[in-house]
Amino acid sequence: MKPLNVEICDVTLRDGEQTPGVTFTCDEKIDIARKLNEIGIEVIEAGFPSVSESEKKSVKSIVGLSLDSRICCLARCVKSDVDAAIECDVDIVSIFFATSDLHLKIKYKKTAEEMLEQALMMVDYATDHGLSVRFSSEDASRTSISFLKEMYVQGAMRGAMYSSFADTVGCMTPVEMYNTVQELTKDLKNPLCIHCHNDMGCATANTISAAQAGAFQLHTTVNGIGERAGNASLEEVLVALRMKGGVDRYDLTKLMDLSKTVEKYSGIKVPKIKAVVGEHAFAHESGIHIAALLEDRNTYEYFPPEMVGGEQHFILGKHTGRKGLLHIVNSLGYSLSDDQINHLLQRIKEISEGKCSITPKVLLSLIEETKKTEGNKI
């Protein structure tokens, strides 16, 4: 399989911080940026420096780390925003404006052509000051393809390094995304970037579909945090690229640690069943599953937990089977008879059906109870 030609731009420090109620300190942003760099992320969007002096300081601090990752920031198509990017000495500035008829009418009260000319002037200004430019369409998924093509052609002619397509309200499906990217990249003179939101739960799928259709720069956030329902999840995208796209240059073993770091700093809990980094991502209770896993882990794990810094867990409950229970009991250093195992299994099912969790402490007490009960029968 020929590897997909892609790079990652992680936007956790900008779009991720736009999650309602989330604010990262400068030190937290630096820590996250270093961890993203260690994984091998090519571009880190460090923030939106025109927002505040504190935000500008954070972006400057990340630039000052001299990471291997290139540092990007966001700017509206106004001179003050581009000046803030220049002051921060970032590698790339993402100059954006909303292109859908709805946004043009409500936000700008200008025509698409008027906004395009204003944006192109800022592309000129940024490139004249030595910055690489990502020329970005906000709400691109509700913008006519013909206008996007015109915008991207003119941006490339003015020196934009990238063209960027944002599914700002997460309204696309994977097939729609694939077809759109194929059409946009037919005559595109620079690489296409894809920025997907998760309003319909399609952000990761849309991102991978875009990559398969020819998109180059893929935008992600750690744990999928971001406005409303969030963005494409970094860990999901990287695993999909490894397993389906032949891309193996990222250090995925650091994903679990990065996830926990962002969970701590953001205060946004990762759901237990979250793909790749959730507490139950590699947890198994079903007796049928565990019995097979003990023979061959590939039976119920598509990729090994160690690949992403995780661990396999067997959880005891009403679906537990005898073979899985025996494995767990032996791993704890106990040796029980067949009758004792049968008794213990019955007690576990009774307790779990009462919606009580079989914690390690509960299990140990049940083992001791079983040893005494069954021992008295002999």
Tell me: pLDDT of 377 over 60: no
Tell me the two tokens of residue 272: 């237990």
Residue spans of the domains in the chain: they are 7-266, 283-377
- 76-90, 226-240, 292-306: range with lowest mean pLDDT: 292-306
Lowest mean pLDDT among 65-69, 294-298, 357-361, 365-369: 357-361
Mean pLDDT for the chain? 94
Q: Is 7-266 a CATH 3.20.20.70 domain?
A: yes
Give whole-number Cα distances, 144 to 1, 70, 102, in Å: 34, 31, 12
Beta bridge partners of 76: 96
| 340 pLDDT more than 50 | yes
Counted residue by residue, the chain has a size of 378
pLDDT confidence band for 378 (50 / 70 / 90):
very low
The 10s digit of each residue's pLDDT in 14-35 is 999 999 999 999 999 999 999 9
DSSP 282-328: TEE--HHHHHHHHH-GGGT-SS-GGGGT---EE--STT--HHHHHHH
pTM of the predicted protein model: 0.92
For residue 374, the model assigns a pLDDT of: 56
pLDDT reading at 116 higher than 90: yes
Task: Give dist(CA 185, CA 375) in Å, integer.
Answer: 73
Distance of CA 18 to the CA centre of its chain: 15
